[in-house]
Chains A and B, each alone.
Chain A
């Protein structure tokens, strides 16, 4: 009898959790008539579309098609003429853990953005599988503007071109705006005998392959190969789990050099480590003293731009509305917020972003494939 009771209790607990989690993961958008449009949950998406019609909003039309053909949905929204978005919470899936660089940029922008839009923008961190899972969720969401995301061009291209397990393509997303501008820097270990580019190159040429360069993840392999090409040297990349560990081993002198994101410049400076150059076309607003490799005669450019994105086929009216709101934010709070965390606030939208991404993704495809 007692065992039976206990078993019922277990079943009850599972049922409770299942219903709650179901509500959290799938139904987050249902009250706004969005529903998640993942293949498995198509039934549910239909149900939520039905529910939302009761609300009688312009969004109802949109969501009817959420589970099936996404192109139609954009036409439907286009047909309604005016846009009433946003009517509810907007969720923003950040494909990195809380406390990191991408998260900081996302929050510095979403905080003023929600004031501008008048509705909460809820940041959800999903850094699982290096961010791949979060990207999948963004790609699978309904293109109604209630599911947005933040990731960088480097991350998404690295998955699409460099990883076997990746099941989305670059065209699965709507790229709304570039939020910042940053790049990698080449940092020498603490107390390194090589304080100039010439010295570093000379040593690397003498000992091909013997120079070890720490990389925060496989993504920086690209920076490394660009560097090797431009300098005509051969170095060995050593992959770490994150910039913090790279930084630790550089301070400890366990590895010759490291390629780190520009946000480490201040810390590296504090430890008296030499930074040979920045892998961008022009200097950063936040660190004007760090020269680019370009101006020192080496063509190394690997720009990393965190972008506000959404699933593909978000109606153009909606994108324009978000762009306008962002432009207002970058006049004030978003700019200041980004500068405080050491990020250069460069807003790229519309054609500017498209051109940038076209060139950037083409470069990455060539190097990563």
Chain B
């Protein structure tokens, strides 16, 4: 009983609330600026939290994490430059809506889905941590490898018009994941003697280059834009309507995506980006009307609910086992250990006040995120009133500075610019750049886990296939992969049929 009182007094202390609010606001803004990123922001802010009380420091970082997971969608929806890899899929559906004049509507979908996703992820964290932490460690090297391969099937949902071009883009991503010093052997690969590539192509500079820089250059050159320079209209819409629609009409998408997001978040070494890709792919697989890729709200909802749910998920193994579920929660883990707190069962007993203040406080940050998002949307949307040539210098500036700040190194700036060039080239060839990011994320996971599995299997003198067949989870993931490929092909066929029938209809009308 005294614990509850203690937690509540700590939680509703004005300083705690202020910290929650500040963290969420900073995270949202950082996430929204292309090039800036929640992960970088958290790394920068980490030392400042060392002097705060543990629960408050964690809440500040947690707020930033949650806020930036949502914030990335804002710039994606409005100017087609996703601030983070997490919101790459949101952009696919969000930007077409903006071009239709429904930018505000898309933003409302994004913020409500983010909030619902966050809350579901956090509920799982609060209620099921002991059960789920054991499940998370069931995924060893072979399971992680298969899961990453399974994730590759999502490329099918990202291809656009030409399947082959999309697959090729995915392969480029897989190739890029191999560049740099190999972790297992220390060998230097595919750097072509250029020192800056030894560190490999990291995700953040790649995303900055492929999306932000490339998009700005594309707009400058007028690639892929039919109507050039017109200022987009902005239809008004009521927040309450969208909220209702999200919760009622799209309730299945929200629930499913949030659960996918939470689950992916729980697995060590994954994160919100993979979560949102999987949820988007799943939602698109269920697409009945063939409107995905042309501004379907379900795509925004799936992607955003999943990446925010992954926040709660990634905290499950961090608090219960000391294994961070994502790169960002790995940085938060530093905030935990700096105070001498040891994650595990004892954290919830010996330091129950800190653990529960943090977990309950995260719900408060989710609410703040919703409020900041809703209040901010009219402000964010004014970006559309600006001329593109006014936005460009700012975005490029932020992008290059953001790339620099990943490792405080010019190498990443070079990588970002290189990826920018790649992005423009892909656009010229009418190839989508999102599969490149997916390949880049999954390539490293597949390779390192394959090498691990291989080493373990050969040390035991077993057969790789037999080793995997003996593990029921492997079979499960394999079957899921087969199903996803089937669903992809089915969706593609259906899309083509719909395309044909609409073409016929258009022709008839014109005739």
| B 444-456 to A, binary, CB cutoff 8 A, 1 in contact else 0 | 0000100110011
| B343 neighbours in A (Cβ, 8 Å) | 267, 270
A249–B408 touching, CB < 8 Å: no
B344–A165 touching, CB < 8 Å: no
| A 98-120 to B, binary, CB cutoff 8 A, 1 in contact else 0 | 11100110010000000000000
Q: How far is the CA of A284 from the CA of B25 in the complex (A)?
A: 43
| B390 neighbours in A (Cβ, 8 Å) | 9
| B324 neighbours in A (Cβ, 8 Å) | 244
| B187 neighbours in A (Cβ, 8 Å) | 164
| B 194-220 to A, binary, CB cutoff 8 A, 1 in contact else 0 | 010011101000000000000011011
Known A-B contacts A17-B401, A127-B407, A342-B337; A270 and B342 likewise in contact (beta carbons under 8 Å) = yes
A165 to chain B, nearest CB (A): 4
| B337 neighbours in A (Cβ, 8 Å) | 104, 263, 341-342
A97–B200 touching, CB < 8 Å: no
Known A-B contacts A99-B331, A254-B141; A24 and B220 likewise in contact (beta carbons under 8 Å) = no
A116 to chain B, nearest CB (A): 18
Q: How far is the CA of A222 from the CA of B412 in the complex (A)?
A: 31
| B 388-416 to A, binary, CB cutoff 8 A, 1 in contact else 0 | 11101111110111001001111111000
B323–A165 touching, CB < 8 Å: no
| A99 neighbours in B (Cβ, 8 Å) | 43, 46, 330-335
Which listed residue (A10, A125, A129, A340) contacts B199, Cβ 8 A?
A129
Of the four ranges (under 10, 10 to 19, 20 to 34, 35 or more), the interface on chain B belongs to 35 or more
Task: Give the segment of A56-64, A210-218, A311-319, A324-332 that binds chain B.
Answer: A210-218
Known A-B contacts A2-B229, A17-B400, A99-B332; A255 and B456 likewise in contact (beta carbons under 8 Å) = yes
A132 close to chain B: CB less than 8 A? yes
Task: Give the segment of A172-180, A233-241, A291-299, A345-353 that binds chain B.
Answer: A233-241
Interface SS, A side: helix
* CB-contacts of A10-57 with B (<8 A): 10, 12-14, 16-18, 20-21, 24-25
Task: Give the segment of B89-97, B178-186, B427-435 that binds chain A.
Answer: B178-186
A98–B186 touching, CB < 8 Å: no
B334–A100 touching, CB < 8 Å: yes
A328 to chain B, nearest CB (A): 21
Q: Which residue of A lies closest to B44 (CB)?
A: A98
B346–A129 touching, CB < 8 Å: no
| B401 neighbours in A (Cβ, 8 Å) | 17, 20-21
A231 close to chain B: CB less than 8 A? no
B490 close to chain A: CB less than 8 A? no
Which listed residue (B216, B335, B455, B461) contacts A13, Cβ 8 A?
B216
Which listed residue (A210, A244, A254) contacts B330, Cβ 8 A?
A244
Q: How far is the CA of A24 from the CA of B229 in the complex (A)?
A: 34
B140 close to chain A: CB less than 8 A? yes
B164 close to chain A: CB less than 8 A? no
Chosen A-B contacts, 9 in total, with CB atoms closer than 8 Å, are A13-B392, A16-B397, A25-B408, A25-B410, A97-B331, A133-B199, A210-B461, A252-B138, A271-B344
